[in-house]
Amino acid sequence: MTPWTGLLFRRRTVWLPTARFALLIVAALVVAALLIGRHLGDWLAVTARAAGPAGGGARTLIVEGWMDEHALDAALAVYRLGRYDRVLVSGGPIEDLAWNPRWKTYPERAADFLGGRSGAPPVLVAVPAPASAQDRTFLSAVVVRDWMTANAVPLDTVDVVSSGVHARRSRQVFRMAFGAQTEVGVVAVRGRDEDPAHWWRTSRDAKAAMGELLSIAWTACCFHPATRGSHEERWAVPAKP
């Protein structure tokens, strides 16, 4: 030890976990991850209907038109159990028209399917959105919101029907599009062969669950909608002069 040691350095005692305690911490983290992961699908596939200002629930039901026929049948059951005045079907263009050129948009396809079922809603409107340069669900929500405004439909309360693990992010994005003045409820229905409660059993469900989890995180931290009613809100790019 040199004479300068005491001037330049100080001795301190540092407590470090033992190997046994470190193993215990790792085991606790693994158990916590397993418990969280086991319930991830249920958390994503949330059902929480809007209460409404007087507890009467929403009068407008918004159905995401991209869902498969099994999920659309489930959405029809949601309508029958509620007190909805109208059903609006949201969504964008069908990119691959080769499989069925009859419909150009998902809302038109879904509305056609729902309209042909027993107990179809008397007020059933397809509200297609254009191709989007940003989050497609957000643009679909904006177009539905603007349609409701143009047709004097109250914006105070709506319920959104989405498929499986997509439900939580749909509610998140519809809330962003409609604003704080609208109570947005959500109902998760199951598409064919979907199993949100056991999302880890198939690669398809696992990819969907993990993708939605990342999308929720990205939307919360990085997606900032433009001013309501602006060109950028719909197109995510500045208007040309």
Share of the chain above pLDDT 70, in %: 92
| 230: its two tokens | 């602006």
pLDDT at 97: 64
What is the value of pTM for the model shown?
0.85
The two structure tokens encoding residue 58: 């929403």
Q: Look at residue 1 and tell me whether its pLDDT is greater than 60.
A: no
Judged by average pLDDT, the poorest of 16-20, 213-217, 223-227, 234-238 is 234-238
Residue pLDDT, tens place only, 41-94: 999 999 999 998 888 899 999 999 999 999 999 999 999 999 999 999 999 998
Do the beta carbons of residue 77 and residue 118 sit within 8 Å? no
Tell me the mean pLDDT in the region 7-16.
77
The span from the CA of 53 to the CA of 8, in Å, is 68
Question: What is the bridge-based pairing of β-strands 157-163 and 183-189?
Answer: parallel
- Model confidence at 224, pLDDT cuts 50, 70, 90, reads confident
- pLDDT tens by residue, 62-76: 999 999 999 999 999
For 9-15, the CB contacts below 8 A with 24+ separation are none
Strand partners, 55: none
Residue 241 pLDDT more than 50? no
What does the pLDDT read at residue 215?
Answer: 93
Top-confidence residue, 196 or 110: 110
Of 38-47, 99-108, 211-220, 232-241, which gets the smallest average pLDDT? 232-241
Supply the DSSP string of 139-173, one letter for each residue.
HHHHHHHHHHHHTT---SEEEEEEEGGGHHHHHHH
Confidence of residue 100 (pLDDT cuts 50, 70, 90): low
Q: What percent of the chain is modeled with pLDDT above 90?
A: 59
Residue pair 61/88 in contact by the 8 Å Cβ criterion: yes
